[in-house]
Amino acid sequence: MSNQPFTHLDVLESESIHIMREVAAECKNPALLFSGGKDSIVMLRLAEKAFRPARFPFPLVHIDTEHNFPEVIACRDKLASDLGERLIVRSLDDSIKKGTIVLKNADQGRNAFQSVTLLETIAEFGFDACIGGARRDEEKARAKERIFSFRDEFGQWDPKNQRPELWDTYNTRVHAGENIRVFPISNWTEMDIWEYIAREKLYIPDIYYAHEREVIRRDNGILPVSHLVQPRSGEKVEKMMVRFRTVGDMTCTCPVESHARNAQEIIEETAITRITERGATRMDDQTSEASMELRKKEGYF
Amino acid sequence: MSNTTQLLRFITAGSVDDGKSTLIGRLLHDSKSIFEDQLSAITKTSERRGGMGAVDLSLLTDGLQAEREQGITIDVAYRYFATPKRKFIIGDTPGHEQYTRNMVTAASTANLAIILIDARKGVLTQTRRHTFITSLVGVPHIVLAVNKMDMVDYSEETFDAICAEYRAFAAQLGLHEMTCIPMSALNGDMVVERGENLNWYQGSPLLELLENVVIDHDINTTDFRYPVQWVCRPQTQEYHDFRGYMGRIESGDIAAGDEITILPSGRTTKVKEIVTFDGNLQRACAPQSVTLTLTDEIDISRGDMFVKSAAMPQVSKEFEAMLCWLSESPLDLSRKYIIKHTTRVVKCLFARLEYRVDVNTLEQHSSATLNMNDIARVAMKVQQPLVFDSYITNRFTGSFIVIDEATNNTVAAGMIIIG
């Protein structure tokens, strides 16, 4: 017999499919967190590969900060509807109205508050597992997180007390009220994601590709001008060819200068870039070396 | 990266003092996998801690705030880097004695283990411990990295003496295939580049070896094993009668038309189609995830296993295994636990504790219980039969985890022994 060699993408894809099927089989009421960003679009393709010709055994859930790029929200809705899968959207604005989120000012970054609305949504639907598109190469705290990451009733991650994870034998068990976060693309890197997008010809929001955009320079970064980000006195609006490496909260997600117009050109740029994905694009992660770790301990996915 | 890039998972075993973090930092740095913002963050930290000019590459692998405060690594961290030939996943484990369980965890998915030795100190107790765990968990390839050669004047005699002592010890564990490399992670000799100081060494630098070691046979390629994960019944107009068995091929291969046996029932049937999202396949092999349809209607559910091979797996409610106890709560022999083996979850009890292995001396002792980091041979009984192979012949169908029903924690890792 001759085994054809499998590429790293084949192996990663099969691992992710295996993980998703374990969730479907062992968890009572799972959900797939889906934002319309590139990683979660890869997750949708993996779910198709895992479960077609049947429908997904879980709904898609988006925790909307209301600070998202309109192109991303449009893509989210289009993909969910093209696939014929159920999409549940819960907004941070609902939590703000209820008073469970209190903002210091209306325009501040909202990434840190997603945990509150996420936990409220988990309680509302009784989800016992949330599948997310986080990757270990993104950030130091993520590098130590399990693929099946146990959370207590407060949604807290305890990095010093994680369940050992051996082979591909996953412990999915939780008590009532507890929750598991599952990260099927833990072992993928930013490069793997782009190679997969190119290989699978995935449709992603066009702001991932180079386009001309009005930006301002602030705090060592480039910020996109929008209804949420307006130039302060002394700041100048410039037009620049940019693309987004991540698409999060518009008030703190920075684009990078680029002329890459398709996935192949992004792969070439990614191969020679000298700045990490979050380092280049997320102002909120730069506030402290431990900011992601602190957010995760509070229930962030 | 090209369309033929393979994936290699490896672990590094050694203590901070052996320069393990520096080695990983050197691999990442010299293969140009470090980003400017990461370098600037660790440069700042090096300066704040009073480092003398040189950037401390070991800081790259420090993860959590708690660790940075204590200056130790407390858990398994995964690192990623790539060269044009391969993508690498490093399972980084601490070397402290109390963290045997972390090394077992990281080793369980590794193709290769790098055992790190300080050239000034030679083979130590912890070297023996790391090698024993590597052999216990069946990591297919071993590299002995004799580091800090700069501290022994790059002496070939010192290197040869250490390798000879190590090979003699490893042979006692049945390990004969390994590569020994002299290096200085601090100066970058024989890690990514050859350097100028070890010209007497004829072999490849570490990275070249990691890029070229043959891993195609790390998975058992002869015995088809397919644990059913999920039964797919779309019940739509188009797929009204479709019934597919979803899973991952853990070993061996399968073709449409092949006769298979379904265990534990023992019934036989034929594979009708190999279905995937990208179209039906004529043939598939490990580690592909697929969906199989069968020619006969048979009652099959998650936990059943499809097999096709001359060597059939065992189907039994009793077996022996090597066990690594992972939990802070000791084993309670009077209690029932839960086993997860492939896609099967069953209740179990510990019939006998044969012996405990002292990981430092490899001596066997009798023992009344098991504490965290203990390794022991045990006899187990399960409520329903499991379908298994010996761990030596099949890492996937020979392994299991033990779960405490009260806490839902994973408390032990088991490797099945037959005969």
A54 vs B232: CB contact, 8 Å cut-off?
Answer: yes
Q: What is the residue type of A191?
A: M
Give me the residues paired with residue B365 across strands. Answer: B356
Predicted local confidence at residue B1, as pLDDT: 43
Predicted local confidence at residue A188, as pLDDT: 95
Nearest to A293 by CA among A98, A126, A162: A162
Q: Which of the two residues, A137 and A160, has the higher pLDDT score?
A: A137
Q: If pLDDT is split at 50, 70 and 90, which confidence band does A145 have?
A: confident
A53 vs B242: CB contact, 8 Å cut-off?
Answer: yes
Task: Spell out the residues 6+ positions from residue A34 whose beta carbon is closer than 8 angstroms to its own.
Answer: A40, A43, A44, A60, A61, A62, A76, A80, A87
Determine if residue B32 is left, alpha or beta; phi over 0 gives left, psi from -120 to 50 gives alpha, anything else beta: left
Residues of B in contact with A289 (CB under 8 A): 41, 45, 65, 68
Does the pLDDT value for residue A288 go beyond 50? no
A82 vs A76, A85, A137, B349, CA distance in Å? Answer: 10, 8, 30, 50
Distance from CA of A210 to the nearest CA of B (A): 22
Region of poorest pLDDT, from A78-82, A103-107, B178-182: A103-107
DSSP annotation of B226 reads: E
Residues of B in contact with A291 (CB under 8 A): none
Q: Which of A169, A189, A297 should we substitute to test contact with B (largest number of B Cβ atoms within 10 Å)?
A: A169
| Interval A198-220: pLDDT, tens | 999 999 999 999 999 999 988 87
Which residue spans within A35-171 are E strands per DSSP?
Answer: 60-64, 87-91, 129-131, 148-151
Question: Is A280 touching B (CB cutoff 8 A)?
Answer: yes
Does the pLDDT value for residue A110 go beyond 50? yes
Q: Which of the two residues, A279 and A21, has the higher pLDDT score?
A: A21
Does the pLDDT value for residue B96 go beyond 50? yes
Tell me the count of A-B CB pairs closer than 8 A.
186
Residues of A in contact with B41 (CB under 8 A): 289
Average pLDDT, chain B: 88
Does the pLDDT value for residue B70 go beyond 50? yes
Which residue in the set B239, B289, B340 is minimally distant from A169, CB to CB?
Answer: B340
Average pLDDT, chain A: 86
Question: Is A18 touching B (CB cutoff 8 A)?
Answer: yes
Burial A106-121 (b: 16+ CB within 10 A, else e): eeebbbbbbbbbbbbb
Does the pLDDT value for residue B141 go beyond 70? yes
Q: What is the residue type of B348?
A: C
Residues A56-68, mean pLDDT to the nearest whole number: 93
Predicted local confidence at residue B221, as pLDDT: 87
Reduce the secondary structure of B325-383 to three states and give it as a string: ECCCCCCCCCCCEEEEECCEEEEEEEEEEEEEECCCCCCEECCCCCCCCCEEEEEEEEE
Residues B196-214, mean pLDDT to the nearest whole number: 94
Question: Is A54 touching B (CB cutoff 8 A)?
Answer: yes
A166 vs B248: CB contact, 8 Å cut-off?
Answer: no
Q: What is the residue type of A157?
A: W
pTM over 0.95: no
Percent of chain B having pLDDT more than 90? 66
Does the pLDDT value for residue B177 go beyond 90? no
Q: What is the DSSP string of B129-196?
A: HHHHHHHHTT-SEEEEEEE-GGGGTT-HHHHHHHHHHHHHHHHHTT----EEEE-BTTTTBTTTB--S
Q: If pLDDT is split at 50, 70 and 90, which confidence band does A246 have?
A: confident
Does the pLDDT value for residue B99 go beyond 60? yes
Does the pLDDT value for residue A101 go beyond 50? yes
Residues of B in contact with A13 (CB under 8 A): 289
Q: Which of B28, B39, B80 should we substitute to test contact with A (largest number of A Cβ atoms within 10 Å)?
A: B80
Q: Which of the two residues, A159 and B388, has the higher pLDDT score?
A: B388
Does the pLDDT value for residue A300 go beyond 80? no
Nearest to B288 by CA among B257, B246, B256: B246
A25 vs B403: CB contact, 8 Å cut-off?
Answer: no
Q: Which of the two residues, B13 and B33, has the higher pLDDT score?
A: B13
Residues of B in contact with A186 (CB under 8 A): 78
Selection from A223-227, B234-238, B250-254 with the highest mean pLDDT: B250-254
Residues A59-80, mean pLDDT to the nearest whole number: 93
Q: Which two tokens stand for residue B263?
A: 């265990």
Predicted local confidence at residue B48, as pLDDT: 65
**Cα(B357)–Cα(B37) distance, integer angstroms:** 46
Burial A162-177 (b: 16+ CB within 10 A, else e): bbbbbbbbbbbbbeee
Q: Which two tokens stand for residue B351?
A: 């019939």
Does the pLDDT value for residue A81 go beyond 80? yes
Residues B89-110, mean pLDDT to the nearest whole number: 80
Question: Is A159 touching B (CB cutoff 8 A)?
Answer: yes
Nearest CA in chain B to A188: B80
Percent of chain A having pLDDT more than 90? 51
Nearest CA in chain A to B250: A168
Does the pLDDT value for residue B58 go beyond 80? no
